[in-house]
Amino acid sequence: MSAPLLEVSDLEISATGPLVHGVGFRVDAGEAVGIVGESGSGKSLTLRAVIDLLPRGVRVTGGEVALNGRAAMVFQDPLAALDPLMSIGAQLWEVCRTAGGLDRAAALARSHELLRIVHLPDPERRWKHLPGQLSGGQRQRVVLAIALATNPQILLCDEPTTALDVTVQRQILDLLAELRRELSVALLFVSHDLAVVADVCSRVIVMSAGRVVEEGSVAQILSAPRHPYTKMLLGAVLPIPPMDAVAALAAPGELS
């Protein structure tokens, strides 16, 4: 078996006390793995530990993270991830120059190409726009383009669709699937929403209180969860009511 692209072994993260306990998993090249759990479960800290982006005062106190390739982060809030006073084109161009080692002209061409790859509408015109002039979905496409400018083998996605409405969320999930397919990039995707993780990933890691409580394929986790916490997460997903029930609620005279 070839070496994994990312291997986390017995990871321990602490601040004033322990936050993540003995977490271990692997991500192979081209694979899409999800980490799911409620707020405070340790999933985002685990993700950030991969590229040493832990918050101030939080540190890795044990275990090992072996990253055998280049990783790039896609953050939850694209507005906070971008410089509000610099055009999105200039920010992307700068990353193409520094991370890609390109000259000025090549970096300009590459930045336009990346904006097209992430399907930003009218990229030549929006190249000069500030982040505040774009919609949330457009900003997240820019953040994805900046991540791709580093030529990563794995994208670390920290709840990248949480701040978006459902229509735009669907578009970003489809884009991630396309990038994985076309560029052979692996995904480590963190979310509190098991339905979103199941949509984009083939394997799921379930975390609770800083520990991995279950891991398996999407099919196994959805159809035969073993841990009570996983069953609770599945039970928290609101089902879509049958259409006859919706029609009855909408019928005139039913509401007092």
User: For 133-178, what is each residue's pLDDT tens digit?
Assistant: 999 999 999 999 999 999 999 999 999 888 788 888 899 999 999 9
Give CA–CA dist 220/205, Å, rounded: 12
pLDDT tens column, 68-117: 999 999 988 888 999 999 999 999 999 999 988 899 999 999 999 999 99
Match domain 1-69+153-256 to its CATH number in 3.30.1480.10, 3.40.50.300, 3.90.550.10, 3.30.590.20.
3.40.50.300
Number of CB atoms found within 10 A of residue 220's CB: 14
Looking at the chain, the whole-number percentage of residues with pLDDT higher than 70 is: 92
CA dihedral 126, 127, 132, 136 (to 10 degrees): 70
pLDDT tens column, 224-252: 999 999 999 888 765 655 655 545 545 55
Rounded average pLDDT over 201-225: 94
Domains of the chain, by residue range, sit at 1-69+153-256, 79-152
224-231 LR contacts (CB < 8 Å, sep 24+): 230/206
pLDDT above 80 for 208: yes
